[in-house]
């Protein structure tokens, strides 16, 4: 057929079910696509436009709507021509543009892995990525036409496309109940993957069918007559198995060709459900049913909405025959599945209502939603939600697909890969670009995790992780860490208390330790020490248990506990006064909390009475290390570049600025700046402040004290 007659045939068909302005939209999409693809040719040598036109024609068989058909005509322009999404949107509206964009995105996904589990994930990802079910239907029609014309494609690519069709697209068609598409895709793929077997089997089937025509005709007559005699109106037809399903039965069930083909297939369509069961009764009286071969998919439909009665009988010549019995409405669902929604949209309302009652499972409830709202976009949303509700599918760098909950972040991904990857995660790349660790992942994202050996989980992650696995691993790690660090602090505190009683705990033997643990009623040495570090036990009381005299020992003078700045979460430097090495300090230990270190004259520390907390004598160790935050207030004249001068001086003095806040006093030509600086100790802070006093714009400067 020439292109001109093809397009006129196509639009004539559209005129049968679409209003004139819809047909006009589709025609203008055709004209646009035709000119965009001008000069491009398919492998077959046909002008490129023949492909989108064929895809749209397939969809028009399902009475697809005008937006969907326009998108089908335009489905390759974004990939293969300079046309952009916004151009399509300008000319044909956002709905068409989104559909075209959706199909193009699916085209960019590559299915790399051969594992079955991965194929399943890939199918789910395709479905989840399509914002609109019409995208999937366009993609399936696209694939169907490509398979029909696969002859023109060269060897290796041919095999790859056929394999992908069997593993990905045919199962999707099956899942959506598009039975005709499913069977044709499988048959075509079979033909290209196993050309010899396909040809041999095809010849054999043809010969066998010729021989059997007479037998089939006689059985058809007998069945029709019996049904009529029982007063059942029915359409009876012989059913030909597809080559692929014959082949599959032979390989899966290890049957010979004769055994598989020696089964006659019939289909009986009746008016209502009652008729189905009555027709079944008639058949079972006519021929002997084979035990265990009856299946009632009317009472229990398949997941894709398929309904029928299946039975297997012994025919007149001792050969088995398989019969499917269903209503017209069930038949429509069986043939076109989800697409039957468009196909029979315009049928009379009684027919639709009937179909809804008969179509159970998810398809039924979805059709009901559709009737209530009358909104086909909502209908599609619900189908999709039902298929794959709460998951996103993302790629690992090796092309594996992982499914995660919908709000999952790179942290969840990292813990899903391996606990160690999660623990040492420092950054993430999404689609090759660095992204914050809290970024929610989208379908089809390629996620890479950057790890560093020294890195450890951040408690802030708990605020945004979505998986239970990530959450529990992070919690577990932090709890262990706290236990370890508290135990280290507790050991120091015990050592200090024991020293006052002239006992050196580093000399204690293992049996002495276990005796002490037992005497104190603790679970283990590390529990006992952590209890001390967290203020749950008094170091002095535990130390007393070590003395021969037990409780009788008098409390000697204890030296201060020295801090090195590396105690971790067990020791915290109070945010009210920001003590830095060199300051006189005091420790406040509340039951079950970490040790808070304050400046000695901090009002918060002075309020601690020792009634609800232990007050500990602490001092800075000689080898204290780290950067300690401290607040400095500077009064700076309001001139251009003043802040930059101040920042430069701070950096040159070797301090970091962790935070800065500005406030302008009303009517004054000066600004109050409060810097949170990170310094090593008091002398370092003094050097920084001296440097700042030399900045001309700095009028006044002082350390902030509570």
Query: Which residues contact Mn ion (rule: CB under 5 A)?
Result: 76, 142
Q: Enumerate long-range contacts of 476-482, CB under 8 Å, 24 or more apart.
A: 477/423, 478/569, 481/456, 481/568, 481/569, 482/569, 482/570, 482/594
Q: What angle do CA 213, 217, 221 make, to 5 degrees?
A: 175
Catalytic residue among 22, 34, 46, 80: 80
Specify the DSSP element, H or E, that contains 212: helix 195-229
Torsion 119-120-121-123 (CA) sign: positive
Per DSSP, the three-state class of 144 is: helix
Nearer to Mn ion by Cβ, of 162 and 363: the residue is 162
| Distance, CA of 242 to CA of 126 (rounded, Å) | 27
Comparison of 65 and 142: residue with beta carbon closer to Mn ion: 142
CB of 419 to Mn ion, least distance (A): 43
CA distance 372 to 377: 13
The alpha carbon of 337 is separated from its chain's Cα centroid by a whole number of angstroms, namely: 26
Q: How far is the CB of 84 from Mn ion (least distance, A)?
A: 18
3-state secondary structure of 445: coil
- Is 79 considered catalytic here? yes
Residue closer to Mn ion by CB (options 142, 412) is 142
Rounded least distance, CB 22 to Mn ion, Å? 23
The CB-of-75 to Mn ion minimum distance in angstroms stands at: 6
Nearer to Mn ion by Cβ, of 33 and 486: the residue is 33
Nearer to Mn ion, 54 or 66 (CB): 54
- CA gyration radius for the chain? 39
Q: Please, what is the minimum distance in Å from the beta carbon of residue 72 to Mn ion?
A: 9
Q: CB within 8 A of 588, min separation 6: which ones?
A: 595, 596, 597, 598, 605, 608, 613, 614, 615, 616
Give me the catalytic one of 79, 115, 420, 601: 79
Tokens for 227, please give them: 């049904």
Please report which helix (H) or strand (E) contains residue 296, including its range. Answer: strand 295-296
3-state secondary structure of 602: coil
Q: Which is nearer to Mn ion, 51 or 331 (CB)?
A: 51
Nearer to Mn ion, 76 or 358 (CB): 76
Nearest approach in angstroms of CB 78 to Mn ion is: 11
Q: How far apart are the first and last CA of the chain?
A: 90
The CB-of-153 to Mn ion minimum distance in angstroms stands at 13
3-state secondary structure of 107: helix
* Residue 63 to residue 585: CA distance in whole angstroms: 81
80 included as an active-site residue: yes
Q: Which residue is closest to Mn ion by CB?
A: 142
Give all strands of the β-sheet with 571-573 in edge-to-edge order: 571-573, 595-599, 585-590, 613-616
Catalytic residues: 79-80
């Amino acid at each position: 057929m020439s292109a001109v007659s093809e397009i006129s045939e196509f639009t004539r068909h559209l005129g049968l079910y679409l209003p004139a302005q819809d047909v006009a939209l589709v025609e203008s999409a055709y004209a646009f696509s035709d000119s965009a693809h001008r000069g491009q040719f398919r492998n077959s040598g046909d002008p490129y436009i023949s492909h989108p036109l064929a895809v749209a024609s397939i969809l028009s068989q399902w009475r697809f709507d005008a937006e969907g058909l326009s998108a089908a005509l335009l489905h390759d322009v974004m990939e293969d021509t300079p046309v952009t999404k916004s151009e399509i949107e300008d000319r044909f509206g956002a709905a068409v543009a989104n559909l075209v964009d959706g199909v193009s995105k699916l085209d960019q996904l590559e299915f790399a892995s051969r594992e079955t589990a991965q194929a399943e994930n890939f199918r789910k990802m395709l479905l989840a990525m399509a914002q609109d079910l019409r995208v999937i239907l366009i993609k399936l029609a696209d694939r169907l036409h490509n398979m029909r014309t696969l002859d023109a494609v060269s060897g290796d690519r041919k095999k790859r496309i056929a394999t992908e069709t069997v593993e990905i697209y045919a199962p999707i068609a099956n899942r959506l109940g598009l039975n005709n598409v499913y069977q044709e895709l499988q048959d075509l793929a079979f033909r290209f993957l196993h050309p010899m077997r396909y040809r041999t089997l095809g010849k054999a089937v043809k010969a066998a069918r010729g021989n059997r025509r007479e037998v089939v005709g006689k059985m058809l007559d007998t069945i029709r007559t019996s049904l009529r005699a029982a007063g059942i109106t029915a359409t009876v037809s012989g059913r030909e198995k597809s080559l692929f399903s014959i082949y599959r039965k032979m390989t899966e069930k290890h049957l010979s060709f004769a055994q598989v083909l020696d089964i006659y297939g019939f289909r009986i369509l009746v008016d209502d459900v009652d008729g189905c069961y009555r027709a079944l009764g008639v058949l079972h009286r006519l021929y002997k049913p084979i035990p265990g071969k009856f299946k009632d998919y009317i009472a229990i439909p398949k997941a894709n909405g398929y309904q029928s009665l299946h039975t297997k009988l012994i025919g007149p010549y001792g050969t088995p025959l398989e019969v499917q019995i269903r209503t017209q409405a069930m038949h429509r669902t069986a043939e076109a599945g989800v697409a039957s929604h468009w196909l029979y949209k315009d049928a009379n309302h009684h027919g639709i209502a009937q179909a809804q009652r008969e179509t159970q499972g998810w398809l039924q409830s979805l059709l009901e939603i559709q009737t209530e709202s009358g909104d086909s976009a909502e209908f599609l949303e619900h189908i999709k939600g039902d298929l794959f509700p709460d998951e996103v599918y993302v790629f690992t760098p090796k092309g594996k697909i992982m499914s995660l909950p919908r709000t999952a972040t790179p942290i969840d991904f990292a813990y899903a890969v391996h606990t160690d990857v999660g623990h040492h995660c420092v950054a993430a790349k999404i689609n090759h670009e660095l992204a914050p660790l809290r970024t929610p992942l989208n379908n089809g994202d390629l996620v890479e995790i950057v790890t560093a050996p020294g890195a450890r989980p951040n408690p802030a992650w708990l605020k945004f992780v979505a998986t239970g696995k990530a959450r529990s691993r992070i919690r577990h790690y932090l709890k262990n860490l706290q236990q370890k660090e508290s135990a280290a602090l507790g050991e120091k505190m015990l050592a200090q208390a024991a020293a006052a009683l002239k006992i050196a705990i580093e000399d204690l033997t293992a049996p002495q330790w276990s005796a002490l643990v037992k005497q104190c009623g603790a679970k283990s040495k590390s529990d006992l020490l952590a209890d001390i570090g967290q203020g749950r036990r008094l170091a002095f009381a535990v130390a007393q248990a070590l003395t021969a005299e037990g409780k009788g020992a008098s409390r000697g003078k204890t030296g201060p506990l020295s801090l090195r700045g590396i105690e971790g979460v067990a020791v915290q430097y109070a945010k009210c006064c920001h003590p830095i090495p060199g300051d006189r300090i005091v420790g406040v230990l509340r039951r079950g909390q970490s040790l808070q270190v304050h400046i000695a004259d901090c009002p918060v520390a002075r309020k601690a009475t020792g009634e609800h907390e232990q007050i500990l004598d602490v001092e800075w160790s000689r080898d204290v290390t780290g950067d300690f935050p401290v607040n400095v207030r500077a009064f700076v004249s309001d001139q251009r570049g003043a802040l930059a001068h101040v920042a430069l001086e701070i950096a040159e003095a070797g301090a970091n600025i962790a935070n800065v806040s500005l406030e302008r006093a009303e009517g004054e030509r000066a600004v109050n700046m409060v810097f949170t600086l990170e310094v090593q100790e008091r002398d370092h802070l003094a050097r920084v402040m001296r440097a700042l006093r030399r900045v001309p714009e700095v009028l006044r400067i002082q350390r902030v004290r509570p």
